[in-house]
Amino acid sequence: MLNGFLISLLSGAAAGTSTDLVFFPIDTLKTRLQAKGGFFRNGGYRGVYRGLGSAVVASAPGASLFFITYDTCKAETRGFFRGLLPSSNVADVVTHMFSSSMGEIAACMVRVPAEVVKQRSQTHASHSSWETLREILKNENGEGVRRNLYRGWSTTIMREIPFTCIQFPLYEYMKKVWAELDESDRVEPWKGAVCGSIAGGIAAATTTPLDFLKTRLMLCKKSIPLGTLVSTIYKEEGFKVFFSGVGPRTMWISAGGAIFLGIYETVHSLLSTNKKPTRNEA
């Protein structure tokens, strides 16, 4: 028998791994579009699976951490926010925003180092994920392994929290409306996938400038203040560059959202039939 913790862990792991494997080439193209020097200078269409190793290693634990935290926070805080706020609909939105934000912070503990390794591999003509990691661990810039592996941490959080605060309340709201139209307690997994695709696409397009800055920070060999980076990029490359990769990012996350949340809903639904009953349910 499975409890809620294991269901979230296994559903998240299946969703994260599947999405990264399917959409990795699009992520590579997006990274190269955002890298300094432009698309072709950073590899063009060659080696689009370079850096896949780091993504696969981190995808299951990262997604599992997100959903364990998200599902737990959602269950534990819904009553608190409903007691605090006058409207249950507003309380549910705040619950989803808070829970998804906590989930993203937890996931980034795994995701950020993997992203650093992955993106440097994607824009380097010869390095595999393992070679890139070894180069980072050499600490040739003297900034320390932790700072090198977690470069872009703050910008990643700055990107992920607005992204998830748009995506998950919208995703949960669309599921709720669709379930009411179907006169059901829960939507079918394929309908959850459609809701995830729409919500993910809207959130992706909106937060592209933050994703762009995160990419540039992770590709820097030395730390640079965010304000200095923004000012330098604006002077040298103009305003439009902040939306570099918006097409691949929106397409990737919209399609990825369908697979990610569709598989999560499918696995969660299948495992829930074997869920260990709680004391109140027994």
Choosing from 115, 135, 150, the residue where a domain stops is 150
Does any domain span residue 95? yes
Last residue of a domain, one of 97, 132, 150: 150
Tens of pLDDT, residue by residue over 91-119, are 999 999 999 999 999 998 888 888 888 77
Q: Are 240 and 137 found together in one domain?
A: no
pLDDT of amino acid 121: 80
- The answer as to whether 84 is a domain residue is yes
For residues 67 and 141, state if they share a domain.
yes
Name the more confident of 20 and 174. Answer: 174
Q: Looking at residue 126, what is its pLDDT?
A: 54
In a domain, 210, yes or no: yes
Query: Considering its fold, how many domains does the chain have in total?
Result: 2
54 and 129 inside one domain:
yes
Give the Cα separation of 187 and 193 in Å (integer): 10
- What is the 3 state secondary structure string of the chain? CECHHHHHHHHHHHHHHHHHHHHHHHHHHHHHHHCCCCCHHHCCCCCCCCCHHHHHHHHHHHHHHHHHHHHHHHHHHHHHHHHHCCCHHHHHHHHHHHHHHHHHHHHHHHHHHHHHHHHHHHCCCCCCHHHHHHHHHCCCCCCCHHHHHCCCHHHHHHHHHHHHHHHHHHHHHHHHHHHHHCCCCCCCHHHHHHHHHHHHHHHHHHCHHHHHHHHHHHHCCCCCCHHHHHHHHHHHHCCHHHHCCHHHHHHHHHHHHHHHHHHHHHHHHHHHCCECCCCCCC
**Same-domain pairing of 172 and 200:** yes
Range of the domain at 110: 49-150
Rounded to whole angstroms, how far apart are CA atoms 17 and 97? 24
What per-residue confidence (pLDDT) applies to 57? 76
**pTM as predicted:** 0.71
Same domain, 269 and 157: yes
Residue 36 lies in a domain: no
In the predicted structure, residue 280 carries a pLDDT above the cut 70: no
Within-domain flag for 194 = yes
Q: Is residue 25 one of the residues assigned to a domain? A: no
Mean pLDDT confidence for 142-147: 80
pLDDT above 90 covers a percentage of the chain that reads 29
- Mean per-residue pLDDT of the chain: 84
Amino acid at residue number 129? S
What's the pLDDT tens digit per position in 2-54? 567 777 778 878 887 888 788 788 888 887 888 888 888 888 888 888 777 77
pLDDT of residue 282: 37
Shared domain check, 165 and 81: no
pLDDT in tens, 58-93: 778 888 888 899 999 999 999 999 999 989 889 999
